[in-house]
Structures are given as structure tokens and as C-alpha cells.
Amino acid sequence: MKQTRAIVITGNGTNCEMEAAHACRLGGFDETVIAHIAEILSGEIRLDDFHFLNLTGGFLDGDDLGSAKAQANRLKNAAVAGGDEKLVDQFTRFIAAGKLILGVCNGFQLMVKMGMLPGFDGEYLHQAVTLTHNDCGRFQDRWTYLKADPASPSVFTLGINKGIYLPVRHGEGKFLCDSDATLARIEAGHLAVLRYSDAEYIQPTMEFPANPNGSINAIAALCDPTGRLMGLMPHPEAFVHYTQHPRWTRENLPEEGDGLILYKNAAEYVRNNLV
């Protein structure tokens, strides 16, 4: 059996690449590579050689033009050295091959600005949703309860029946749609994978600070109809071990943090479907 391979893209203001790579390894990937975007643009590294693409948090290009917008423009228009291929061609080929993409925080912002989510009708380069400034008008760094939708097609959240507890740290996390019709399609397809909720994971909430940004319908995470592409504002890579929990010295917690299941599910999917 071939090795399962994950790639984490860094550069131009990203962060959390080490944590994301560690989460991939803990999740079961045989090999995880951290690659600077310049290595991909130069042709030294190609997305085609990997099964799972991680777009991490950070402040791409200083959030100029809005979070991740400059990078989205770059990736859609930049050419790969040594030929006529554009980098976006590697992204669309990666998706067409049935591979997995996970965007976290700034990575989620990048996916929606590029148009990869929600990906209706196989259209992955048309922007229909966005992430904008938090309603509170300031950066939020706190832990949130996230109610899961068991009916979601997401590959990453299989087995999460109630919810998970993850940290957020962002200034532009408010999820919005370009129309009521787009929101209706998201809801009808169960594409809103996770929602900000009460501590019992019973009821989604619009109340601050449980909903830290004012996202419409409390949406914290979104997947495409195939379930293979997913973006979320909370950071799963920041809670893969119990010592990352804010109350780890005061509570008897399982060794695995709530975020690890996303990476374990990704590795399992790749083993069963792509290698």
C-alpha cells in the first residue's frame, strides 16, 4: 500500500503550520510535509503528490484587502514556474481527484474567498459566501462549544454525534452569504457542519460570547456537498491532546483532544479511498 501523504502550506503570513503537521501525524498520516508557497510556485513541490491539503491559520498578507483576499487572488492567477500551468489548476485537479482539503481560520477565509466553499454544482472558483469582521468589533481569543450536524456529509466530522470544544482566535470570523438562496442551499444540504452552541451542544446560539463573531445561523464550519472540502474558524490542531485544554489540571480528561478526530477521519478516508 502506498504511503498516505499530507501537506501543510505556509508563507505570506500563515501560522500554526507546526501544530497542523503534528495533528496530521497524530491522526495517522505516514508522511506530512510543510511547504512554503514559494516551493509550490517554483514547481519544486506539487500538490498532485499529496492526498490531504491543510490551509492553516494566520494573517495572510497582513489581511490587506480583507482576510486572505490577497492570497486568494494570488493563487487564482499565479503561474507555476517552468510551464504554462497556473497554480489554481493544481487546486482544481486536487479536488477532482477526490482528495481532501481542510481550511482552518485564515485557511477557511482563503477557501471562501477563492470560491472553494460551498462548492455548489462542482463550481469551486465562484465566491458565494464570506467571512468578515466580528460583530463585537475586536479580536476574539476564547474557547467555544460547537454543535455538530450528524447528517452532514463532511468526511472530517464522522463520529461526532453531539459536539466538540475548540478554541477560536480571529478578528474576521463572521460567516455571511451572498443571498438567502445560498443560505437555504447550505441548510438543505447539511453543509453547516458545526455551529456555535451552548455548553450542552443542544441549541445553536447567536448570543455573544458563545457565538464570538455573530455568524449567520451560528455557522462555525462549512463543507462542500462531497464532504471532502471543509473550512472552520475554530482551531482543531490546537486541541489534539488533553494538556491543551484550559482545565487540564482540574478535570479528568481523555488523552485525545476533541480536534484530533478531524485528522484521524482524514487519514482513514485516504487509506480507504485514495491509496
* pLDDT for residue 145: 98
* pLDDT for residue 134: 98
C-alpha cell at 121: 454544482
Q: Angle between the 69-77 and 87-96 helix axes, to the nearest 10 degrees?
A: 90
Q: Which amino acid is at 261?
A: I
Per-residue pLDDT tens digits for 28-49: 999 999 999 999 999 999 999 9
Catalytic residue among 51, 170, 235, 245: 235
> At a CB cut-off of 8 Å and minimum separation 6, what does 238 contact?
16, 19, 166, 167, 244, 259
Q: What is the rounded average pLDDT of the residues 9-19? A: 96
Instruction: For residue 136, indicate whether it is catalytic.
Output: no
Query: What domains, with CATH codes, occur in the chain?
Result: 5-273 (3.40.50.880)
Per-residue pLDDT tens digits for 120-164: 999 999 999 999 999 999 999 999 999 999 999 999 999 999 999
- Size of the chain, expressed as the number of residues it contains: 275
**Predicted confidence (pLDDT) at residue 1 exceeds the cutoff of 80:** no
Q: What's the chain's average pLDDT?
A: 96
Q: Which amino acid is at 69?
A: K
Q: What is the rounded average pLDDT of the residues 49-57? A: 97
Report which of residues 222 and 64 the model is more confident about: 222
Q: What is the rounded average pLDDT of the residues 15-26? A: 97
Binning the chain into helix, strand and coil, the percentages to the nearest 5 are: 30, 25, 45
* pLDDT for residue 139: 97
Instruction: For residue 237, indicate whether it is catalytic.
Output: yes
Catalytic residue among 16, 105, 177, 223: 105
* C-alpha–C-alpha distance, residues 191 and 157, integer Å: 12
The confidence band for 63, taking pLDDT boundaries of 50, 70 and 90, is: confident
* pLDDT for residue 10: 96
Per-residue pLDDT tens digits for 67-104: 999 888 888 999 999 878 999 999 999 999 999 999 99
Catalytic residue among 17, 19, 172, 237: 237
